[in-house]
Structure 1
């Protein structure tokens, strides 16, 4: 699957305020907007033998990460599966209509969530980690 901008799947006001409604979206929509950080961390945990980093993008001059993904050796994994990282960045830049800043995320999930106002797994309607593991399993990693 070719990379698709995360913004295509932005949550509606009701999806932002009601975790059950957000949960009921398709897996791709759920992991594109609202749980991308969970998907990224679970991806890294799923391949402990790889040096997978967590990366995020934000608008220029801003520190608020609006999309998070796993990155490894020039590849990126997000709601679109595995794609070359430059392609992922390009589709998001095109969608947002301005250049984006890529950030390497070095803190753990809890600190990231606190710093960037993202939900921890226990703050979703249900635990999203099993759903993320299933989603990751649908995609063949680039090293396979």
Structure 2
């Protein structure tokens, strides 16, 4: 989990200039999740939104399948990932908690569809300075294919 300065988050040039890992951690995680799901199209992949409790920030979207998850870190054991995410968020925002909500893949690249979920408002890939989808596809090349089912 990364936190970036408001100036960098609001300025399209500064946001685009962030290193890939930070870019996909702080504001474009949904684009990375969508690219992953499109590349590895299997029925076991689920997009999960961590919806922070009322009064908190720290939204995040990742891909889950069985006992593993994928986000800007790469692959992680699902339980360790959850523990790490909560521990880190609670360090920044004492009392932080979130509800995991499964999202359909098409919501990840549609501002209109994302807004049908209370508290969610996602940018479409072309609403960044440049289209973020090719950047996500290129970032995915750094990682091996997903673990086999049951792994």
Give TM-score, length-normalised by structure 1.
0.84
Is the contact made by 1:52 and 1:70 (CA closer than 8 Å) also made in structure 2? yes
Q: Quick one: distance in 1 between partners of 2:47 and 2:76?
A: 15
Moved runs in structure 1, 4+ residues, more than 4 A?
61-65
Q: Which of residues 86, 94, 97 in structure 2 aligns to 1:93? A: 86
| Greater radius of gyration (CA) | 2
So what's the TM-score if we normalise by structure 2? 0.80
Counterpart pick for 1:137 among 121, 131, 141: 141
Structure 2 CA distance for partners of 1:46 and 1:62, relative to 1, 3 Å: farther
Distance change (3 Å), C-alpha of 1:58 and 1:25: same
Matched positions, count? 137
Shift of 1:14: 1.1
CA RMSD of aligned residues (A): 2.3
Unaligned runs of 5+ in 2: 91-95
Q: How does 1:1-144 map to 2 (within 5 A)?
A: 6=1, 9-61=2-54, 66-97=59-90, 98-106=96-104, 108-109=106-107, 110=110, 111-112=113-114, 115=117, 116-140=120-144, 141-143=146-148
User: What residue ranges of structure 1 are gaps of 5+ in the alignment?
Assistant: 1-5
Q: How far apart are residue 89 of structure 1 and its match?
A: 1.3
